[in-house]
Amino acid sequence: MRSTSPHHLLVGTLLVAWTGSAFCGPVVSVAEKQPLNVPAILMFFVFVLATLGITWWAARRTHSTSDFYSAGGGITGMQNGWAIAGDYMSAATLLGLSSLVFAKGYDGFVYAIGFFVGWPIIMFLLAEPVRNLGKYTLADIVSARLDKTKVRLFASVSSLTVVCFYLVVQMVGAGQLIKLLFGLDYQHAVIVVGVLMVVYVTFGGMIATTWVQIIKAALLLFGGALLLFLAMSRFGFSFDELARQAVDVHKDGGKIMGPNGLLSDPISAISMSIGVVLGPAGLPHILMRFFTVPNAKEARKSVFVASGLIGAFFLMVCALGLCAIVIVGSDPAFFEGGNIRGKILGGGNMPVMHLARAVGGNIFLGFLSAVAFATILAVVSGLALAGASAIAHDIYSNIICKGKVKESSEMRVSRFATLGLGVVAVVLGTAFENQNVAFLVSLTFGVAASSNFPVLVLAIYWRGLTTRGALAGGIAGLTSAVTMVILSKAVWVDVLHNVAAVFPYENPALFSMPIAFLAAFAFSKLDKTERSKAERSAFDANWIRAQTGLGAASASKH
C-alpha cells in the first residue's frame, strides 16, 4: 500500500477550514446570546492545527494495514497506557461525570467508581489473552477456534453497534462544547466534529490516533489538576469545607451526600453497576489498543499504567463536580436569564467549563476547552477506526473476499467506512442532543457487557463453547440489550417522545447479560455435531497460545 500523500491531507485540512467558515453566519447571529470567547477559539484552532500536523506525520509512516489498524505493533506499554487512558478519559468523564456530581452529588461518584472498577478485570482476565489471540479486531479473537465466517460476522456487527452507541456520547459532548465556545448552532458543531474525525482516521490511522490520545491525556491530567488546585484554594484546600458549602448551596441539600434518584431503585443500581464494570471489557476500541504493542507483557503494562492515570483523573473530576456546585451553582451569571434555578448556559454537561472560567478566566477556559475537544476528537477517532476495521478487515476482507484481497483495496474500503461512520455519528449526535453523556455511556457499556463480553470471555476460557453457542449468546445479548435500551425512557420517551417507557429500567445489563450467557451455554451443550467436537478439541491449542503467546500474530515493526 502506498503511503497517504501529504497533498491529500492538505485537501482534508482545507475541507475542515471550509466547514468552519461555512458556519460564520450563525456565529454572528447568536453572538448576543453567547459572546465569543476569543482566547478559547484561538487555542481551539492551535490544537486543531497541531493534531492535523500529527496526522500529516502519521500519514507518512502508514504504509500497510498493520500500520493503519495497529500502528505496526510498535507502541510501547507505557505509551499505550497513556493512549488507553486518553481513550477512556472521554467526554463522559470530564463533562458527564462532573455534571452528574454537580446535579446529583453522590450518584455521580458511584458512576465514576463503576467505570473504574472494570479495569482490573481487563488487566487480569483479558489483556494477555487478547494480545496473544488477536491481530486487529475483536473478531480475530472470538473466531480463533470457531467458524471464522459466521462468528466474525456477528462480532463485527456487534462491534459496530457498540461503536455507534459510543459515538453518540462523544458527539453530544463535542457538539455542546463547540456550541459553548463559538455560539454555533448545535447541529453545525456536530458536523465540524464529524469532518475532523474523518480527516484524522482516513489519513493518519492508528499512529495518528495513538499520539493524539497520548498528548491530550497528558494535557487533560495537567489541566484537571490545575483546575482542581485553583478551585480548592477557595476552600482552603479543605474537602470538609467544600462538602459543607456544597450541601448548603445545592437545591437538594444534604440529599446529595447519599443516593439521590439515579440509584434509588436497587434493580437499576445493580443493572447499571454490571454494565459499567463489565462493559469496558467489551469495547472494541479499547480491545483494539492491545494489538498496538509488541507482546503480552507490554499489554499488561498498558493496563497497569492506564489504571493509575484513569483512577487519579476520576477522583479529580468528582471533586471538580462538588466545586462546581458551590462556585458555579451559586453564580447567576452561568444560568439562562440569571436564574440559578433555571437551565445552565451551554447545556447540562457544561458545569466544569463554567468552573474553569470562574477560577481561571477566559484564557484558562480556552485551554481546558481545547483539551476537552482534543479528548473527544481522540476518542471519536479511535471509535471510527474500530468501526472501519470491523467493516474493512472483518466483513470485506475476511468474509466477502475470504482473505484474498489487496491491502490497497482493504484500505480504500476502510476509508469509505470511516466516511460512512462520520455521517452516522452526526445523525445520532443530533438526535440525542439533550441527554447527559455519562448516562449515555452507561447504556453503551450495558450493550457491550451483554454482547461482546460474554462471547469474548467464553471463547477464551470455556472449552465447551461452540459456534452455535457463540452466535446464540451474542445475538441474544445484543438484541435484548438494544431492544431494552430502545424501549427504555432514555430513547422511547426522551428521543421518540412517547408517553411512557415500555421497559421500566434504564440500564439493560442485569437482564440482557444473563440472557447472553444462558443462550451460549444452552446452545453449546445441545450442539452435538462433528464440527462442535472439533471446536472443543481446538481449545487446548488456543489456550496455550492465549497464555504463552506461542503462535501469536506478530505485527510488523517500523
Confidence band (pLDDT; 50, 70, 90) for 92?
low
Secondary structure class of 344 (helix, strand, coil): strand
Tell me the per-residue pLDDT of 319-351, one tens digit each, with 9 for 90 and over. Answer: 999 999 999 988 888 887 777 777 888 777 789
The residues, any chain, with a CB within 8 Å of residue 322's CB and separated by 6 or more, are 101, 105, 242, 243, 246
Q: What is the pLDDT of residue 320?
A: 94
Question: What is the mean pLDDT of the segment spanning 98-120?
Answer: 84
Half-sphere exposure of 247 (CA within 13 A, CB side): 10
Neighbours of 337 (CB within 10 A): 10
Q: What is the pLDDT of residue 319?
A: 93
pTM over 0.85: no
Spatial distance between the Cα atoms of 416 and 432, rounded to a whole number of angstroms: 25
Cα first-last separation, the chain: 15
What residues does each domain of the chain span? 6-548
Q: What is the CA radius of gyration of the chain?
A: 23
At 89, list the grid cell: 478519559
Q: What is the pLDDT of residue 79?
A: 93
Spatial distance between the Cα atoms of 404 and 398, rounded to a whole number of angstroms: 8
Tell me the per-residue pLDDT of 451-465, one tens digit each, with 9 for 90 and over. Answer: 999 999 999 999 999
Tell me the per-residue pLDDT of 214-236, one tens digit each, with 9 for 90 and over. Answer: 988 898 899 999 999 999 999 99
Spatial distance between the Cα atoms of 108 and 246, rounded to a whole number of angstroms: 14
Please give the CATH topology (third level) of the domain spanning 6-548. Answer: Sodium/glucose cotransporter (1.20.1730)
- Greatest Cα-to-Cα distance within the chain, rounded to the nearest angstrom: 72
The residues, any chain, with a CB within 8 Å of residue 449's CB and separated by 6 or more, are 274, 275, 277, 278, 279, 281, 282, 509, 513
Residue 529 DSSP one-character state: S
Q: Identify any residues that bridge with 344 across adjacent strands, giving them in sequence order.
A: 335
Tell me the per-residue pLDDT of 399-413, one tens digit each, with 9 for 90 and over. Answer: 888 878 888 888 888
Which tops the pLDDT comparison, 291 or 475?
Answer: 475
Question: What is the mean pLDDT of the segment spanning 104-123?
Answer: 82
pLDDT higher than 80, residue 190: yes
DSSP string, 69-132: HHGGG---HHHHHHHHHHHHS-HIIIIIIHHHHHHHTHHHHHHHHHHHHHHHHIIIIIHHHHHH
Which tops the pLDDT comparison, 79 or 200?
Answer: 79
Neighbours of 32 (CB within 10 A): 8
Please say whether the beta carbons of 90 and 280 come within 8 A.
no
Tell me the per-residue pLDDT of 473-531, one tens digit each, with 9 for 90 and over. Answer: 999 999 999 899 888 887 788 777 888 889 888 788 999 999 999 999 999 999 999 99
The residues, any chain, with a CB within 8 Å of residue 464's CB and separated by 6 or more, are 521, 524, 525, 536
pLDDT higher than 60, residue 3: no
Amino acid in position 443: L
Q: What is the pLDDT of residue 4?
A: 43
